[in-house]
Amino acid sequence: MSTTMRMEAGSANGLGAIYDGEGTNFALFSAHAEAVELCLYDSAGQQELGRFLLPEKTHDVWHGYLPGVGPGTTYGYRVYGPFEPHAGHRFNPNKLLTDPYARGFQGEFKLHPSNYGYRVDSDEQDLSLDVNDNAAYIPKAVITSPGKQSYSHVKALTPWHQSVIYEAHVKGFTCLHPDVPESLRGTFAGMAQPQVIDYLKSLGVTAVELLPVHAFVDEYFLQEKGLTNYWGYNTLNFFSPHAPYLGGAGAESFREFVDRFHQAGLEVILDVVYNHSAEGNHLGPTLSYRGIDNASYYRLLPGDRRFYINDSGCGNTLNVNHPRVMQMIMDSLRYWAGEMGVDGFRFDLAAALGREPQGFNSQGTFFQMIAQDPVLAGCKFIAEPWDLGPGGYQLGHFPPGFSEWNDRYRDTVRRFWRGDDGQLPELARRLHGSGDIFEHKGRRPYASINFITSHDGFTLRDLVSYNERHNEDNKEDNNDGHRGNLSYNHGHEGVTTDPEIEELRWRQQRNFIATLMISQGVPMLLAGDEFGRTQNGNNNAYCQDNPINWLDWGNLDDNAQSLIAFTRKMLHLRRVFPVLQANKYRHLPDDPHDDSIQWINSDGKLMREEHWHERDCSTLGYLLTEKGEHADVLPRYMLILFHSSDLPIIFKLPKHLGNKWRRVINTAAKDFQQDRRAVEVHHSVTLAPKSVQILTAGEVPD
């Protein structure tokens, strides 16, 4: 490459580095910069090849075109402007910055004082200016070839009401998997292995929701402790796949992974973090957005713009109300849905995306942009409906087209199976799809993403094994993570050899899975819960890149194998009994043309008002009727009996139906396979302590 080449004006249309077959156009937004310098490096990102001032600024976009520069070349920016922290400006041309629109990176982010825009040893802290160059310690952006829209040959597109989500981590799922070649473990190619796909299909899930796969870096305080940001909620760039997950390959390995999932009928949903970046608070490093245009990219305190509004709890909050920041988010979503073929997105701390100057607005700009975008049409959208900002809890307030993580479901089901009093009314509302929360503006039961556990908190096994968190390995003196987990150790904290406690713990795991799979709404299962994965009581394992988080596929004993079989059976029942996959809320039990839901007391009769107010009542019958599309088709029935007491109870079966009942599930069976045959029952059943029984009547497939 000639260092004497002349940069042409180029175009402000299309941010990032865009190769057209003959050269590359560079465009970077910065409203407050005084000059922008492009620094080119070799393909290894080590040797600087030249520096070029971007010659033009159009509508706050700095741009230039270099003929002869193409894919494989690495680059970064140095941005000139005022260093006035109290005014919100933190320009420092001594810092090489990553392009927010980069499609790939070369090199690793390294812990070094020069990555800060200020002198870390100065008494003035971030009010001082650091003049040391950081180019050797930050990854370089890579110019890539243009991608293709709609890369995947097949779009899975499972209807929302038939969806079952499986939340997984790319590395954690594959790192110890015996059927994944060692060279592919921890990568997208490892996730795409036939044995992995076959396993997911055999469970009966329809979509895998991956923890963040956007390029992320470790926080300095974690690196200093010898820990890492394992979960990935510390995004450096919203367009580039996390390099370690590529395993040395290019972004095409992610596209191939998505394509293989689609060919198997599986969807891919990404957990995305558009609420904050990896640059932290005013004492954080200067890596990209802060040095490009701090006052535009971030929400700053009005009284002193030196400081950041921290609605995310991670040090900063992206300023989604700025049109260029909103454009970046939308361009990112379109890239992953269009070129990468992704089926949906789960928005971390999504309340931050809907917060406008007057507060959270379900009809705000972000939601309107998504609703009208043709590339995103048909994608699934899931909100984590809270953040730490004012009015930050917004469960049920997202617009039609969004589903939401339902923590009310999680907490209610945990309380019920823990044995808390007075849970029946709340349990019924959650089983019914949380219509009290979501049934407005045409929203459907699938607006509720039902879950018992997620990456954040206890695993299912730990939920029934620990009363307290055990996060000592996080090196924060066990002060991090949730204090209240609504968990119960059943008489012993942690690992035990007591056979009675062990049997009860496995039964409780079956109870939770059964409850999840028969509830109206969309079930989400945490990877490994189907075989009893433990994190040894750590309920905030975000920084543990080790066996605490890695799924141990080589140590699945009989109990684990039985729980996998149980999970498969429950998902099979969900598929063959469509009334469990509600596409609408049902309120008319006497409508002869409609399916119905009824609530049954232990006397075999409909629940009466006084029954709902019996705080010590811990037994509930959940009767689902499926009447079919034609009048001459006999109805089918499913009766689910929940019993969370420590004592057994006799439950009389409804007489008015006139059907012979068959028991297909009894979670109290030590090996549920023994009770797998359809046992005929007639007048009543005995419910063991803390158990679920599922009975069917009519023509229900085995």
| Dist CA 553 CA 116 (whole Å) | 42
Angle formed by the axes of helices 558-576 and 499-518, nearest 10°: 20
If residue 303 lies in a helix (H) or strand (E), which one and from where to where? none
By CB atoms closer than 10 A (0-12, 13-18, 19+), residue 522 is buried
Round the CA-based radius of gyration of the chain to a whole number and report it.
Answer: 27
Token pair in block for residue 368: 């309107």
User: Which residue, 335, 460, 361, 356, is CA-closest to 410?
Assistant: 460
Dist. CA 653–CA 657, nearest whole Å: 9
What are the backbone dihedrals phi and psi of residue 58, each rounded to the nearest 5 degrees, phi first?
Answer: -125, 120
Structure tokens at 658: 């006139």
If 0-12 CB within 10 Å is exposed, 13-18 middle and 19+ buried, where does residue 557 land?
exposed
Please give the positions annotated as active site: 348, 384
Could you give the CA distance from residue 131 to residue 278 in angstroms, rounded to a whole number? 22
Strand order in the sheet with 619-626: 596-600, 619-626, 636-643, 691-697, 661-666, 679-681
Q: Where are the alpha helices (DSSP H) in 476-634?
A: 499-518, 558-576, 609-612
Task: Please give the distance of CA 109 from its chain centroid, rounded to a whole number.
Answer: 25
Q: Encoding tokens for residue 474?
A: 């996080």
Burial letters for 153-164: b for 16+ Cβ neighbours within 10 Å, e otherwise? eeebebebbebb
CA–CA dist 527, 507 (Å, integer):
19
The span from the CA of 521 to the CA of 444, in Å, is 8
The secondary element (H helix, E strand) that includes residue 257 is: helix 252-263
DSSP, collapsed to helix, strand or coil, labels residue 234 as: coil
